[in-house]
Amino acid sequence: MIATLSGVVSEKLIDSIVLDVRGVGYGLYVTAEDSGRLITGEPAKLHVYEHIREQSHDLFGFTGRDIKSLFEQLLGVNGVGPKMALSVLSIGSAADVRQAIAAGDTKSIQRANGVGKRVAERIVVDLKDKVGLVGVDLQTTGLLQGEGLLMQDEAVEALVTLGYSAVDAAAALQKIDHSLPSEERIKLALTGTR
């Protein structure tokens, strides 16, 4: 298994690059963002995902381990293959993609080549709680504790009991004054009032 490759970017194509590793040119599919970062003639280190099939052996390269991790999460969604996952990652930065998934923004996800409404919805349903609380300012909700752990918050717990995910509960409480009593915060979150 190839985990990483380090070499010089010798060629950039539309959706891939050639990485020269001591005289051997590896073709790697990359996201649009990574392609923009990589410069022909400059050294690069890429985290690699190998996709081996009977008739092909494709390599997918990522400048960051977090991007590769998100790619692998996308692959876990039924109906999403490596090319489609790469297409989803090319709609913006990894943070943009995570935020779109966490917010349930299927329209943004559908901008990816080959992704229809059903696949976008499946991505959101399968990954919404797995991509983290990206895009939600936890400081303003009062949910952030020293090392980024969620504190026990009665309002969050109540919303989760009512069927909200932790992400949705945090988003609903994001702009509501944390100094208000929990009951008031819950009411405001449920009515959508700020």
Structure tokens at 119: 């696949």
Q: For CATH 1.10.150.20, list the domain ranges present in the chain.
A: 65-127
Q: Supply the pLDDT for residue 149.
A: 34
Q: With a cut of 70, which residues of the chain have pLDDT below it?
A: 132-153, 165-167, 193-194
For 134-146, the pLDDT digits (tens) are 444 444 444 443 3
Question: What's the CATH fold of domain 4-62?
Answer: OB fold (Dihydrolipoamide Acetyltransferase, E2P) (2.40.50)
Alpha carbon of 162 to those of 9, 156, 188: distances in Å? 52, 10, 14
Q: Supply the pLDDT for residue 155.
A: 77
For 57-85, the pLDDT digits (tens) are 999 999 988 899 999 999 999 999 999 99
Q: Supply the pLDDT for residue 183.
A: 82
CATH number 1.20.120.450 is the correct assignment for the domain at 65-127: no
Q: For CATH 2.40.50.140, list the domain ranges present in the chain.
A: 4-62
